[in-house]
Amino acid sequence: MKEKAIIKETSSVCPVCLKKIPATIVKAKREVYLDKTCPDHGDFSTIVWRGFPSYEQWGEGQEGFGPELLLQEEELGCPYDCGLCVNHKAQTCTVLMEVTADCNMKCPVCFAQANDAEKEAQPELEELKMMLKVVLESGGPFPLQLSGGEPTFREDLPEIIYMAKKMGFEHIQVNTNGLKLAQDPAYAMELKTAGLDLVYLQFDGVTDVVYQATRGRNLTDIKEKAIQHCAEAKLAVQLVPTVIPGVNDQQIGAIIDYAKKWIPTVKGVHFQPVSYFGRFPEAPDNASRITLPEVLQLMEKQTNGEVRVADFLPRKRKDSHCGFSGFYVLDDENRLKPTTSFSNKASNENRPGARIPTNPAVHVRNFIKNRSVYVAEEACACTAAGNTKKAMGTGSLASRAKTHYLSISGMPFQDAWTLDLERLEGCCVHVIDRKTKKMIPFCSKYLTSIDGKELRQ
């Protein structure tokens, strides 16, 4: 057995009963685990970090700012009082709002448990408006992501987007599997006309073998058609792969290469290492998990060093272990050039995009607003995907940074085995909860026990 050294003490929950219990972050050589013991259900030791950069190196950061508005008094303590409560230490950078629980797919991988028979009927427009008012009263408008279920399942989705835009939400995304965008060539333009800024597209790989495993059907042609129709409508796209060991971790580099082909329509790739909630009630072993530094290492290896581990930054938080980000410009030789550097963090203050303010949440909001949107090309007649080389001018890298860029980021969501309440208190991705009409940190909102019981019922 590997000898473990304690890095820090924290709190977590039991994966079986979801009771709050003490936990310890421990290190054994280059592996870091979250260890905890429930008096009723025994010991749990779950991998949370493997490899370089080390857990300690990545954790450097600063204390966050508390929420603009507290909607929940402390009663039972974190994570049961999420709403946001007095113990929360981060302001909102993005808000998710579920507009339906219905879906046109039945994915084996689904944190939202879409199509659950016990889900309520979808909210009417007036209820959605009420939820959006709460977001505005909580310090918004924040970047807004319409989620589900499958949002395009609603026939009135353009009306919802238009309503949110009129209420003052400057940046609106739709989290979608892309089926309807692929089937209807005019749908992307309809959503853009309503005010949509970004399609947050489920995108697990570049072959149907991957989609059969993650989504239960062939989808490569459908994803391509969806992106093509967005390109024709000049609607920005972000590719969102759920990364699963032995399923699609060997395609991380191929996904980045695919994204390059679709610049300037594709603005980013956001990797999500698989978490076990929703339709994953079985206890996962450590071999079924992939950690943040492993994704970074595979990225460098599979792109032959075009994208390097050293290009990426942690969140600007004291506990920064829930994310990475890097910003690249596509040069006129079809190579991604980094503008961010882990080794020289001070130089990142002037990278393309917004200047980093003191408040990390404000920086994220500004970046999403300015960079997760289609930007009209300058001195270029080409807007269709697949014609990247035609779109390249001979201008400087700085001028190309206005249009031909790619953000690469990642976020390993916490589940009942990996939940670190210190990290949860720093979560800036919040969900406006339909039942309580309160803002809930993402990992608290979707947390489930080993038998599928939700923390928030």
Strand pairing category for 439-441 and 429-432: antiparallel
Q: Which pLDDT score, from 0 to 100, does residue 353 have? A: 44
In degrees, rounded to 5, the angle at the alpha carbon of residue 329 between the alpha carbons of residues 325 and 330 is 125
DSSP string, 290-339: --HHHHHHHHHHHTTTSS-GGG-EE-SSSS-TT-EEEEEEE-TTS-EEE-
The C-alpha R_g of the chain, in whole angstroms, comes to 21
User: For the segment 179-203, what is each residue's pLDDT rounded down to a tens digit?
Assistant: 999 999 999 999 999 999 999 999 9
Stretch 338-366: mean pLDDT:
66
User: For the segment 7-28, what is each residue's pLDDT rounded down to a tens digit?
Assistant: 999 999 999 999 999 999 999 9
Distance between CA atoms of residues 133 and 128, nearest Å = 9
Beta partners for 6? 26
Q: Which pLDDT score, from 0 to 100, does residue 363 have? A: 84
The one-letter amino acid at 258: Y
Domain 94-410 - what CATH class? Answer: alpha beta
Stretch 370-384: mean pLDDT:
67
In 3D, which of 239, 264, 273 has the Cα closest to residue 328?
264
